[in-house]
Structure formats: C-alpha cells, structure tokens
C-alpha cells in the first residue's frame, strides 16, 4: 500500500466519526517547513496529474483537473505563499479539500501524516508584521519538539477568489 493510500485510508477512517476529527490535522511540507490543515476539510490525496491551464488566472492557480468526472480548480500553495517554484516530483501531491461544497486541489511538496494536536498545544499566530503568506496562518501547533504551521484553509482558498473561479467552471 502506497503512502498516499495509507493516508487516504486514515483520512476516511477519521471522517467516519465526526467527533474524532477534532484536533486532527493533515501535515505536509513546503520546502523545509511543515504545515497542517484540519482533517475535516480533506477529501483525499492524489498524485499530480494533467492540469489544464486556464487563461487570465493568477500564477498560483495552476488550472483544473478532471477528478472522476468533476472539474476542480488547483492552486499551488508554494506559489500562493510567494515561495520559489519547483518542479513537481514523485512526492508532490494534490490534497483535495472541500469548503462550502466547493472542491479544490492544493499542490504541496509532500504529505507527511495525520496527527493529533490538542487545543492546548496550539498557540495563536505570532503578532509580527503580517506578510502576504502570514495571513493564512491560524496558529502554531506544538508536536513534541517540532512546530507545525497551521493554516486557515478558508483564508487560503477564498482569499484566492476560488469561489469565482469555481463558478466559472462547468459542472
């Protein structure tokens, strides 16, 4: 069983029971940093596939994919955070998330694991000069000796005008 299949099975198992999703995060890497998003928004993890370009879109909107007959927009989180673009490899994944009944694929360097971060281990985002990418941070999760940057998926997607992009797509 591949790493993606294991994570997809873990995601499906945690979503069967609503209460078990509290404090669970899917972690992934971008460069040297580890990020997390709430598992309740994650549908599945897929490998990078053919992405169809859309004209007149911001650079971080890579285009759309056909996922089992449904056309969904795809954004590259690296570019959304103004990080240097890098070639996709065998570890690059598309995490399919759903928010307000809109499915979106987010491209990450690699997925790590599903972890529990109790509310007591989550610190608010630091009050430093708010840069372009820092507005997407909902908090910092302490996991053993590491810190995971927890993302606000609502801010990440809707700040990217994903609703307008989705409405323009055929169903």
Note the pLDDT tens digit of each residue in 40-83.
999 999 999 999 998 888 889 999 999 999 999 999 999 998 89
CATH number of domain containing 156: 2.40.50.180
H/E segment holding residue 14 = helix 3-16
Lowest mean pLDDT among 16-20, 60-64, 104-108, 115-119: 16-20
Domain count along the chain: 1
Give tens-digit pLDDT for 98-111.
Answer: 988 889 999 999 99
Domain that holds residue 104: 3-167
DSSP 85: P
- Extract the tokens encoding 10: 């873990």
Instruction: Tell me the residue ranges of DSSP E strands in the chain.
Output: 24-30, 33-38, 42-47, 61-67, 70-76, 93-99, 102-108, 110-116, 122-124, 137-143, 146-151
For residue 132, pLDDT over 80 is answered with: no
Lowest mean pLDDT among 7-21, 102-116, 121-135: 7-21
From residue 159, alpha-carbon distances to 4, 46, 165 in Å are 28, 24, 12
For residue 162, pLDDT over 70 is answered with: no
Which strands sit side by side in the sheet containing 122-124, from one edge to the other? 110-116, 24-30, 33-38, 146-151, 137-143, 122-124
Work out the mean pLDDT of the chain and round it to a whole number: 85
């Amino acid at each position: 069983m591949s790493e993606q299949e294991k994570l997809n099975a873990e995601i499906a198992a945690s979503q069967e029971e609503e209460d078990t999703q509290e404090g669970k995060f899917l972690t992934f890497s971008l460069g040297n940093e580890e990020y997390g998003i709430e598992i309740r928004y994650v549908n599945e993890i897929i490998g990078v596939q053919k992405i169809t370009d859309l004209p007149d879109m911001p650079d971080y909107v890579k285009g759309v994919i056909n996922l089992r007959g449904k056309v969904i927009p795809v954004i590259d989180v690296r570019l959304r955070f103004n990080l240097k673009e890098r070639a996709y490899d065998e570890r690059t994944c598309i995490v399919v998330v759903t928010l307000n009944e809109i499915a979106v694929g987010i491209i990450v360097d690699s997925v790590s694991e599903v972890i529990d971060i109790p509310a007591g281990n989550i610190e608010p985002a630091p009050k430093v000069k708010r840069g372009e990418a820092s507005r997407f941070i909902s908090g910092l999760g302490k996991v053993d000796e590491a810190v995971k940057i927890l993302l606000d998926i609502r801010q990440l997607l809707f700040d990217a005008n994903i609703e307008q992009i989705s409405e323009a797509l055929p169903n």
